[in-house]
Amino acid sequence: LKGMNASEFLTAESFKAVMEKQKALLEDETASQRYELEIIRKDGVRMNAESRTSLLTYNGRPLGVQCIVRDITESKWVEEELRIAEQNFRNSLDSSPLGIRIVTAEGELLYANQAILDIYGYSSIEELKSVPTKQRYTPKSYAEHRERAKKRKLGKPVPSNYEVSIVRKDSEVRHLAIFRKAVIWGGEIQFQALYQDITERKQTAEKLRRFKAISDSAGYGAGIITPEGDLTYVNES
């Protein structure tokens, strides 16, 4: 290695960066430099390195540049793998048919996919964030939301699955089933909430409940038969 020119074991881009850093050191003798570069090994394999350089002087005159080089190939690989994994995770959120939000422990909205925007009737995450939380819930659901937030802040257990009734931009009320869990987002622990619109299911259940209440109080026999002939309901009469 001794006697070789730096251009022989650095990529062209890294060699150019090293020369520029050395020039900067000579112009400002009190400065030190820290940067990344790419080294070409004897076997041709490229590796990532971190270089820390400082100017060596004697009696006020520059003698040379000291370079301390550290192999960061593995950490760069891990960093890239994490970046790819997070990107894949985000892509899966973007394309999910379920509404998804990522929030901090304090409730700050970090991410919302298109499905959740469609559920609420908003065109962008900025528009969704601009609407006060209280306006996005029915009064009953907002009170329950406040109670869950209070319990979380106190460290008390809160169910991961629950239902809410929300108010869309067009004032329509929709009913949602929610599943909440902790996730890693941007290298930190945040919280993911999955939203499934169960409005039609709730409406069907309510219609069936009303039908049963009416038929059970009727003075005649009533029942429900499927197209296949299966008897699924009969009243008391």
pLDDT tens across 155-174, in order? 999 999 999 999 999 999 99
* Single-letter code of the amino acid located at 156: K
pLDDT digits (tens, 9 = 90+) for 75-85: 888 777 777 87
- The type of residue at 106 is E
Q: pLDDT digit string (tens) for 50-80?
A: 888 777 777 777 777 777 788 888 888 877 7
Q: What homologous superfamily does CATH list for 6-71?
A: PAS domain (3.30.450.20)
Express each pLDDT in 196-216 by its tens digit: 999 998 888 777 777 777 777
Position 137: which residue type? Y
Q: What sign does the dihedral 132-133-136-141 (CA atoms) show?
A: negative
CA pair distance 229, 233, nearest whole angstrom: 12
Name the CATH architecture for the domain at 94-197. Answer: 2-Layer Sandwich (3.30)
pLDDT given for residue 124 in this prediction:
92
Q: What are the sequence ranges of the domains in the chain?
A: 6-71, 94-197, 202-234
193 pLDDT above the threshold of 60: yes
CA distance 225 to 162: 33
Q: What is the pTM of this model?
A: 0.59
What is the C-alpha separation between 57 and 208, in angstroms, rounded?
A: 89
